[in-house]
Amino acid sequence: MWRKAILLSLREKKVFTIFTLIYTILIFLTSLFWQLAFSRDLEGAGYFLAIFFGTSLFLSLLYAWILVSRKRRVWATFKCIGYTNKNILALVSGMILFTTFIGFIVVIEILFHYTAALSYLHSENFLLDLNEILIGLIPVIITSALFIIVQLLAFIVAYRKVLKVRPIIALKKVGE
């Protein structure tokens, strides 16, 4: 079912792109503030971290809500053709997790390019005052792991909403 969740995510191009972009920015900023908190370079970094995690929680809930609510008729049809609530939850959870995972990959990719570009410039003695490593791997991994834990709450919300989708909706005529 996870592979099918990935397929469904990729086909929902607009929603997938928007949420991947938002997750990428959030993971990047949260990781950066973890880095600053670790190195004690910024006072009050903890407050920013709390804000980013709060935003991440809100977004995860919003994403779960959008995935279930906007596609109620699809999930109702799936129930008609024999899907259990758990089958549908597996699809929705997979879609949310995949989006976060791609956000994580994009952040890593950006950091790789940043380091590569600076190393290249340093070879010609440009921008020597900038650190080649913008954010270490550990803060990024910690952030991504915590984001996934936060999403467990979104799964609970999604499950409660999936339970409420009655298969009979699929038989209602469009516009009824």
> Rounded to 10 degrees, what is the CA torsion of 21, 22, 24, 25?
120
Number of residues that bind other proteins (CB under 8 A): 25
Nearer Cβ to other proteins, position 116 or 168? 168
Nearer Cβ to other proteins, position 8 or 158? 8
For the segment 9-28, give every residue that binds other proteins (CB under 8 A).
Answer: 11-12
Binding residue for other proteins (CB under 8 A) from 105, 108, 157, 170? 170
Burial (CB < 10 A; 0-12, 13-18, 19+), residue 176, is exposed
Nearer Cβ to other proteins, position 92 or 150? 92
Nearest-angstrom CA–CA distance, 167 and 77? 6
| Position 174 contacts other proteins (CB under 8 A) | yes
- The DSSP annotation for 83-94 comes to --HHHHHHHHHH
* Inter-CA distances, 47 with 23, 41, 147, Å: 19, 14, 17
Minimum distance from residue 80 beta carbon to other proteins (Å): 5
| Position 160 contacts other proteins (CB under 8 A) | no
For the segment 76-105, give every residue that binds other proteins (CB under 8 A).
Answer: 77-85, 87
Check if the beta carbon of residue 169 is closer than 8 Å to that of residue 76. yes
Minimum distance from residue 123 beta carbon to other proteins (Å): 47
Nearer Cβ to other proteins, position 79 or 139? 79
| The residue type at 2 | W
How is residue 170 written in tokens? 């699929």
Give the binding site for other proteins (CB under 8 A): 1, 4, 7-8, 11-12, 73-74, 77-85, 87, 166-168, 170-171, 173-174
